Amino acid sequence: MSAIDILISEVGPRDGLQSIDPIMPLAAKCAWIDAEVAAGVREIEVGSFVPATLLPQLADTAAVVAHARRHPGLTVAVLVPNARGAKAAIAAGAHKLTLPLSASETHSLKNLRRTHAQVLEEARAIAAMVEACPPASRPHFEGSVSTAFGCTIEGIVTQAKVVELAEALMAAGCDEVGLSDTTGYANPAQVRQLVTAVRGAIGNDKLTGLHLHNTRGLGLANVIAGLEAGITTFDSSLGGLGGCPFAPGASGNIVTEDLVFMLEAMGLDTGIDLEKLLPVRDILRAALPSEPLYGFTPDAGLPLGFRAAA
Ligand code: ZN
C-alpha cells in the first residue's frame, strides 16, 4: 500500500454500534468492514472486549476480529476496558489495543468503577501481556485519555491533569497515548493547546491520534486544529452512526465521509476513495433501518470538478 498523509481510523463498528439499541448482525458488520477496506480504509476499530451483559451489541467482537484479519494491510483495532479484555483481544489476534483512562476520576468511577490508580494498574498488566507476545504478533498498545477536553460530571478538566495522565500511561508501558473528546466539549484553541502540551511532555511521536466528537458542530474545526498541531490520525464513524444522546440531530463521532472530503479537498491523501465510500452507507441503512445517518457530503454530493488528493 502506498504512503498516505493522514490515517483515518473508522470507529463506527465500536463507538457507533455501542451507542444504539439495535444489534447489527455479524454478517452485516463483516460486509461493512469489507466495503470500507475496499474503499481504502486502513484502520478500523471493530469492537470492544467488554462483557456481553454490558454491551450485547459488541458480544461478537472476537468473530469480527477474526473476519477483519483476513484483509492484508488492515489494522484491526479494539477497545479494551481492562487486562481481562486485553487477554481476550490478544487471543483473538487484534493488531491494536486501546485502553481508555478517563481524565475525570468521577467519570472513571462511574463508567469503569475504577480509580486512576486502578486503571493504571490494568495498563501495566496489559503492557506486560503485550511484551510477552512474540514480536511478529505483538499488538500496538495505546492508552487513550478520555474526557480530556471536559467532563459531563466534573466540568472542566485541567491541562495539567491530562499531561500527568499521559505521562503515567507512558510510564505504565503504553506504546502511545491518544486524546479523546468523549463529551464533545473541545474547541480548536483548546485542541491546539492540549496537543502541544502533551506532545511537549511525552514526545511528538507518542501522541499522533485524536478521537473527536461533533456534539456541538466543532468536530472538523477541531480536526484542523489537530492537523496544525501535528496530529496525523483521526477517528471518525461512517454516517456518524449512533448520533449523540445529549444533542438530538447531531452526529456523535465525526462523520467519516465529511472528514475524507475535507482532507482530500485540501490535498491531503487519506488513501480513501470517496466514490466507493459513500455507497457503504447502504449497508448500514439496510441493517439498521431505524437509525438516522448523518453527513453533509453524502447529502450534497461531491462538488463539480472535485479531485481527490492522489
Ligand atoms: Zn467516542
- Residue 137 belongs to a domain: yes
Report CA 79 to chain centroid distance, whole Å.
Answer: 9
Nine-digit cell at 227? 492537523
| Ligand 1 centroid, distance to 214 Cα (angstroms) | 10
301, burial (CB in 10 Å: exposed 0-12, middle 13-18, buried 19+): exposed
* 309, part of any domain: no
Distance 17 CA to ligand 1 centre (A): 11
Tens-digit pLDDT profile for residues 50-100: 999 999 999 999 999 999 999 999 999 999 999 999 999 999 999 999 999
- Residue 244 among the catalytic residues: yes
With respect to residue 101, please indicate whether it lies within any of the assigned structural domains: yes
Per the listing, cell 489495543 goes with 97
Distance in Å, CA 180 to ligand 1 centroid: 7
The reply to whether 308 falls in a domain is: no
Structural domain tally of the chain? 1
Residue 157 falls within a domain, yes or no? Answer: yes
92 within domain boundaries: yes
Domain carrying residue 61: 3-300
**Candidate list 30, 151, 174, 244, residue with the active-site label:** 244
> Could you tell me the three cell numbers for 103?
481524565
Dmax over Cα atoms in the chain, in whole Å?
A: 54
Centre of ligand 1 to C-alpha 244, Å, is 10
> Is residue 310 domain-resident?
no
Integer Cα distance of 201 and 221 in angstroms: 24
The stretch 18-34 carries a mean pLDDT of 96
Ligand 1 centroid distance, CA of 48 (Å): 12
pTM for the whole thing? 0.96
User: 174 CA to middle of ligand 1, Å?
Assistant: 20
Mean pLDDT across the chain, nearest whole number? 95
Distance from residue 304's CA to the centre of ligand 1 (Å): 33
Q: How far apart are CA 50 and CA 47, in angstroms?
A: 9
Q: What is the pLDDT of residues 169-225, one digit of tens each?
A: 999 999 999 999 998 999 999 999 999 999 999 999 999 999 999 999 999 999 999
Residues 83, 48: Cα–Cα separation, whole Å: 13
For the domain that residue 280 is a member of, what is the CATH number?
3.20.20.70
pLDDT at site 241: 93
Q: How far apart are the C-alpha atoms of 157 and 103, rounded to whole Å?
A: 7
- Indicate if the pLDDT at residue 304 is higher than 90: yes
The type of residue at 11 is: V
Count how many Cα atoms sit within 13 Å of the Cα of residue 292 in the half-sphere of its side chain. Answer: 11
Domain assignment present for 305: no
- Confidence band for 249, pLDDT divided at 50, 70 and 90: low
